[in-house]
Copies of this chain bind each other. A is one copy, B any other.
Amino acid sequence: MPTFVQILDFIGTFAFAISGIRLASAKRFDWFGAYVVGFVTAIGGGTIRDLLLDVTPGWMTDPIYLICTGLALLWVILFGKHLIHLNNTFFIFDSIGLALFTVVGVGKSIALGYPFWVAIIMGSITGAAGGVIRDVFINEIPLIFRKEIYAMACVVGGTFYWICYLLGMEAFVCQIVGGVTVFVTRILAVKYRICLPILSGNEEEQEM
């Protein structure tokens, strides 16, 4: 029997893979290319985190991520034209994935003895870096740098996780508080169109 966290992990992976495959399909990638972009979107953040923490990336020990991406590809091939109607559903799934991935990243870093600022960064990398690689592959400026509160939600959630940890709460309480914070921050930011200010210090492109 899969645990509750494993089910959430599967949902998050599926939603992230779908997001990669859909953007790849908009660029007319072939099935293989779409699969790779979907897979990298799903596991890219965790892989960068694990390289930095010097542990073996999770997808190299469990084929579930490969299978899950395969199911996501099948889903898009079969139901692609009807996915539009499910945008809200996928938005919820994607936010669940973001919350879960962040919590996993923060927890893993704390367990390895890293200080809080590293843990929060690792949580954000786990949640958001897969999307950055996806956008680099499809040759677009990464979305998270320009639009909406996305990675910021990971930072906020990671901070709440750490505060709970500091207050001596149980691991699962920290995880729930951290995850719910990411989820709620993301939902509220999109619902009320909360954005960070755009930097406009100097207009001309000026390289150093």
In the assembled complex, how far is the CB of residue A86 from the closest CB belonging to chain B, in whole angstroms? 10
Given A33-B145, A138-B141, also A23-B205 (CB < 8 A):
yes
B76/A21 in contact, CB under 8 A: no
Enumerate chain B residues within 8 angstroms of A147, measured Cβ to Cβ. Answer: 30
A60/B30 in contact, CB under 8 A: no
In the assembled complex, how far is the CB of residue A137 from the closest CB belonging to chain B, in whole angstroms? 6
- One digit per residue, 1 when the CB lies within 8 angstroms of any chain B CB and 0 when it does not, for chain A 173-208 equals 000000000000000000000011111111111111
Q: Which A residues from 16 to 64 make CB contacts under 8 A with B?
A: 18-19, 21-34, 36-37, 47, 51-52, 54, 56-57, 60, 63
Residues of chain A at interface, number, CB under 8 A = 72
Enumerate chain B residues within 8 angstroms of A60, measured Cβ to Cβ. Answer: 52, 114, 118
Per the bound structure, the CA–CA distance linking A27 and B142 in Å amounts to 11
A68 within 8 A of B: no
A33's nearest neighbour on chain B, judged by CB, is: B145
Sorted nearest first, the 3 A-B pairs with minimum C-beta distance are A80-B201, A33-B145, A25-B199
The residues of A with any CB-CB pair to B shorter than 8 Å are: 15, 18-19, 21-34, 36-37, 47, 51-52, 54, 56-57, 60, 63, 66, 76-77, 79-81, 83-84, 87, 90-91, 94, 114-115, 117-118, 132, 136-147, 151-152, 195-208
